Homo-oligomer: A and B are copies of this chain.
């Protein structure tokens, strides 16, 4: 699945309207996801600049190194290509771009994410241009269009299927009395399963550096929220977490569940139920007009009121789209008002050092009618107990 070509001219017009309102002659974007958003070209980021350039008048340009030229054409990038030979090159990529323009802009914007080194190089290649920081594209990316939501919805179906397959693999090892998988093996298995499903069912797969994947950890390892999967095996009696995600048409979702291996202890049951309640309350709060920080507070207050505040390690969630993590942040300090078309993770957790972590995450679409869970793997205690 891929966005229809008609998506891009409409988007370019919205960017131009915002440029006009901001008094800018052009916008230059060098974040790989901003480039994919504006042109449909996905690539493996490295030191070679890949840049989308949107002038107020005239065609959108895509600056690429020669080694990406055919790949950009193959992906039908919605922009005119400007190709530089190689990086760093005798003439800098920025100079090649400047030379391709009919006239240099008087006042141009770049994203806040552009590096200080690049802005200095731009200044040298665009004499007379005033460069300012502009978040025009970051603001547009906050609210997803119906075409994008269709991609998120399909990604959610696949992420849920990956969760089910991971649970099935573990349940089958328990039932057959065979060795339980290591974190790495289980992560590899569900990653391959999700990718195979996409290739089997989709005519066109938009390949991104992490098409399907996730974090998998059990027992005390799972008390470290962002620990990468290692060689430890799952162990009977311990919880384990499948924190999975995938991208369809470059649009991500995540779907995460904590599973209990064997009959739950009272302690395990308590932690799980508190997180389940927090996730339910937090998800219900994702409604148009609610401030992100307020949803987060309602969500985490469930955990605080249960006396588990010391085990909090992170906020309720984050925006998700072309980026696996992107604004808005469902967190203290983010006063963004939720609006229809925003897609967010809702993923409170508690992390008990030396014991385990418990987290439940769904990807949620904000609609006029309230929150809609795009991922929907079941969440009752009986749904996540394996081999009891």
Residues of A within 8 A of B (CB): 42-44, 46-47, 65-71, 74, 85-90, 92, 110, 112-117, 119-120, 133, 182, 184, 188, 192, 195, 199, 205, 207-209, 223-231, 312-315, 318, 324-326, 329, 331-334, 351, 353
Residues of B within 8 A of A192 (CB): 188
One of B113, B207, B324, B331 near A230 (C-beta < 8 A): B207
Q: A120-B133, A192-B188, A231-B205 are in contact. Are A43 and B331 (CB under 8 A)?
A: no
A327 shortest CB reach to chain B, Å: 8
Q: A205-B230, A231-B199, A325-B47 are in contact. Are A65 and B223 (CB under 8 A)?
A: no
Q: A89-B331, A90-B332, A184-B195 are in contact. Are A113 and B119 (CB under 8 A)?
A: no
Top 3 A-B pairs, shortest CB-CB distance: A112-B117, A88-B333, A207-B228
A133-B119 Cα distance, complex, nearest whole Å: 12
A189 shortest CB reach to chain B, Å: 10
Q: A70-B224, A184-B199 are in contact. Are A331 and B87 (CB under 8 A)?
A: yes
Q: A313-B67, A331-B86 are in contact. Are A207 and B229 (CB under 8 A)?
A: yes
A249-B227 Cα distance, complex, nearest whole Å: 16
Closest to A223 in B: B70
A69-B353 Cα distance, complex, nearest whole Å: 11
A226 touches B89 (CB 8 A): no
A120-B116 Cα distance, complex, nearest whole Å: 10
A111 shortest CB reach to chain B, Å: 8
Residues of B within 8 A of A69 (CB): 313
A65 touches B332 (CB 8 A): no
A365-B135 Cα distance, complex, nearest whole Å: 43
Residues of B within 8 A of A86 (CB): 314-315, 331-333
Residues of B within 8 A of A223 (CB): 70
Contacts A88-B331, A113-B117, A120-B133 aside, 9 further interface pairs with beta carbons under 8 A come to A47-B326, A67-B313, A71-B227, A88-B334, A89-B331, A112-B116, A113-B115, A114-B116, A205-B230
One of B44, B312, B333 near A226 (C-beta < 8 A): B44
Residues of B within 8 A of A92 (CB): 333
Closest to A85 in B: B332
A333-B48 Cα distance, complex, nearest whole Å: 13
Closest to A72 in B: B224
